[in-house]
Structure 1
């Protein structure tokens, strides 16, 4: 997709014209309940492209889009921005996604994005340009890899960001970042949407190799024997129930010489049956999404490699299936992790933490500046936060602030959860150093506490994306979260 700029239309410029076949403008909800047109919408009205009455009748509710046809044949997409005083990064993102979602469903080949003049809290011009570009790329996503009949191609090829001429350079630079972010999100969505019989641990490893080849990244894929040599007993215990070979994937991006790297650790359970503690059959198909943490690491690498910030980054992905068989973990089994700590497995469906812990131990060899693990870890986090916020667990105040700020800036929000030591007692075992579950109360917290035991002396945070990584129902599919949060966080560290 091509991103360009064109000069903003002031309301006085009645003779000016957008050089595209479609236009996105905004309307606000006034304090008196009436619709208030944005400056760009007023320009269209003054030029006679659309009638003021039609714009006034457009839905001003946040994210609602009204499709009008202008007098000159131009398609006009009027998107509701809600109350002007409440417009922020999240609602601006929702509006941009809604607008491009409608635009990409038409035959429009070019569109002028006329929301750049909207004042949103916490967003400057660059932020709005980045969000617009990301939204356009995301809206162009179609998943038809596994369909015999392909979806119609998206016609939209050019997006014009409507800004003052003095702002063009800033807007285009931010749009390039947004485009890279959108591509990373879409890659994450594709990997998440692929079924478990295609997206196996080996497939994930090959995708990492392809990405490394394209962007000249470092990559290493450790096989079962190499993991055994490293004594990754916890990770391998989960993998042994499946016929699919486990893979431990290491990606490296070097953009800052010998600086300490930031490390992302992604849970890569390519299908989770629950193992011997098998899950109910209903909805089990969605357990192909249990590798969305791994997918988000690969998607973030895709974005970072294209943006090329001055930062060092390492991605660690323990990838395997969790299946029931004669070789699978049994409730009551005790395994030894790479750290030497022993674990009593009380529930084989609490397997994500059993692969992440060895990855966290492995991460220590890089002497990292920060470590963030990303995992569809617990249903308890969905109960706590629903599908709005990602759960954030950390004792590192700076890391917490940086991740929360990145989420707020991108609309890919997180909510900080407790990680008090008092919860650690729930993981006590009579037979091992710890149990892998702590019971139903505070399940997302005790899962994070389990991981914390392997992240001592690390600047570490855990993101539980069980409620945000995918959608169910009619809109079923991977969301690409939290690639936006992670990428924005990393750019802030560069």
Structure 2
């Protein structure tokens, strides 16, 4: 895992001397009223006399203060740093009467945009965005500075690495450190997602999960294909049967001294998805390197919970398989006996995620958890319904709404969706307990959730988080989000676990 830069709390109103060895100063700006020059947001003390002139300079250079807009202003020796980076926050959000507006996500995105603009060019950066929201500024900066370069040739001149982050803020140092820890584990999930599938096949993924977990003090158990067969994991074995690289199931357990509740986590770990016999079109199949994003998020979030010392027991069940077509692959028309005895008729081998998850959910419920949260890149229908940045949140109503609220506050986004009872009949099978798909395309995201519900114990509040689009950014970078793996839903899971630890 990458290390975080040193974090320096500079106080609420440091003077220009705080910039003596800084490569850049990041300041926030908002749009002015009726086309006027943008206005500074947050602390201005490090700017000294430049504070009065900066809005006009930003406007002269084309800056307006709109969200994530970056304007570079050379100081020409007027400050201790050679460069001021003015980054747009957008219009201040509305707030209920008497309450301060919640600017956390604006600050995260602005900090990320500034960090991307400075990536590889600055060793020490000072930011005044931290005066608006300390944790958000740290998190956004570190996530925006992320880059996956493991498979790139070393440049002749190595880019400058961000080593020190100066934070214009008073307050609790613990908030900054906690945000840095969260960002580091989000980056760990991104690294897993971005690792190509020839190097991250099921056993390799399991071993990397083991190394991360043991480093965080989390207990690990890995079941190989023989143990999976003995245990009756028909879904995992069926999906993984077409690959020369057999499946695995990883169990991670974090047990604090005095847990408030026990939470089961389940994440889909399809290390590559060709669709199997029901093969996908060639166009964009390379994006299926991300089909293990749910598993990556669960592994990282479990380790994060341990590092933060959250007072909640976490037991993660993570199935890992590669869905390939071959002479040993499962076929449309096959019937799989799932863990726990439910039988499933396979009508489409490209609906494989729900098969490995059915096994994992049934196993996870045997641990008698107080809550179960499962996450997966499950359906293309999520993208159709909610777009590329908003996960679909389904499950038990009260817990579903709680998770959706935490997801939005954490910055991952999320929207509560129903599980209409009339869709269940469309999963009836001619020969088995249920089929893995319906005979139509309507409500595909919801049908996926309804299928998974069949494997959840009746007394367990549960949530299914469909992250098919949000987990992997196929467009341009934005805010603190790079191309490729995004790290969704690590922050959501961590926020839910923290909420349960605090409130039960």
Same structural fold, with TM-score higher than 0.5 when normalized by the shorter chain: yes
TM-score (norm 2): 0.89
Q: Does 1:101 align with 2:116?
A: yes
**Cα contact 1:265–1:373 (8 A) shared by 2:** yes
SS in 2 for 1:23: strand
**Cα contact 1:27–1:41 (8 A) shared by 2:** no
Alpha-carbon spacing, 1:473–1:16, altered in 2? closer, same or farther (3 Å): closer
How many residue pairs get aligned? The number is 475
| Structure-2 separation of matches of 1:446 and 1:244 | 30
SS in 2 for 1:37: strand
SS in 1 for 2:180: helix
27, 30, 33: which one pairs with 2:35? 33
**Structure-2 residue corresponding to 1:8:** 12
Aligned 1:152-163 pairs, distance under 5 A: 152-163=158-169
Aligned 1:69-148 pairs, distance under 5 A: 69-70=74-75, 71-72=78-79, 74=81, 75-86=83-94, 88-106=103-121, 108-118=122-132, 128-148=133-153
SS in 1 for 2:292: helix
Q: Does 1:491 align with 2:494?
A: no
Aligned 1:135-214 pairs, distance under 5 A: 135-149=140-154, 152-164=158-170, 167=171, 170=172, 172-214=173-215
SS in 2 for 1:301: helix
Q: CA deviation at 1:435?
A: 0.6
463, 471, 474: which one pairs with 1:472? 474
| Structure-2 separation of matches of 1:345 and 1:370 | 29
**Cα contact 2:261–2:500 (8 A) shared by 1:** no
Any unmatched runs of 5+ in structure 2?
Answer: 95-101, 478-482
Moved more, 81-90 or 177-186: 81-90
| Structure-2 separation of matches of 1:292 and 1:303 | 16
Structure 1 residues 369-426: Cα deviation after superposition (integer angstroms, max 9, x where no partner): 21111101000111101112011111231x2232122222221110111112221011
Q: CA deviation at 1:363?
A: 0.4
Alpha-carbon spacing, 1:47–1:148, altered in 2? closer, same or farther (3 Å): closer
**Structure-2 residue corresponding to 1:409:** 409
Moved more, 323-332 or 87-96: 87-96
SS in 1 for 2:270: strand
SS in 1 for 2:400: helix
36, 41, 47: which one pairs with 1:44? 47
**Cα contact 1:255–1:312 (8 A) shared by 2:** yes
Q: CA deviation at 1:24?
A: 1.2
| Structure-1 separation of matches of 2:54 and 2:414 | 42
Q: CA deviation at 1:92?
A: 2.4
Moved more, 81-90 or 20-29: 81-90
SS in 2 for 1:202: helix
Moved more, 402-411 or 323-332: 402-411
| Structure-2 separation of matches of 1:273 and 1:83 | 44
**Cα contact 1:253–1:305 (8 A) shared by 2:** yes
Alpha-carbon spacing, 1:379–1:47, altered in 2? closer, same or farther (3 Å): closer
**Structure-2 residue corresponding to 1:123:** none
Alpha-carbon spacing, 1:258–1:157, altered in 2? closer, same or farther (3 Å): closer
**Cα contact 1:419–1:445 (8 A) shared by 2:** yes
SS in 1 for 2:235: helix
SS in 2 for 1:331: coil
**Structure-1 residue corresponding to 2:428:** 428
Q: Does 1:366 align with 2:367?
A: yes
Alpha-carbon spacing, 1:50–1:253, altered in 2? closer, same or farther (3 Å): farther
| Structure-1 separation of matches of 2:265 and 2:20 | 43
Q: CA deviation at 1:51?
A: 4.3
**Cα contact 1:114–1:162 (8 A) shared by 2:** yes
**Cα contact 1:219–1:252 (8 A) shared by 2:** yes
**Cα contact 1:269–1:322 (8 A) shared by 2:** yes
Alpha-carbon spacing, 1:405–1:331, altered in 2? closer, same or farther (3 Å): same
Alpha-carbon spacing, 1:433–1:4, altered in 2? closer, same or farther (3 Å): same
**Cα contact 1:100–1:136 (8 A) shared by 2:** yes
Structure 1 residues 100-132: Cα deviation after superposition (integer angstroms, max 9, x where no partner): 2223242x22222202333xxxxxxxxx22222
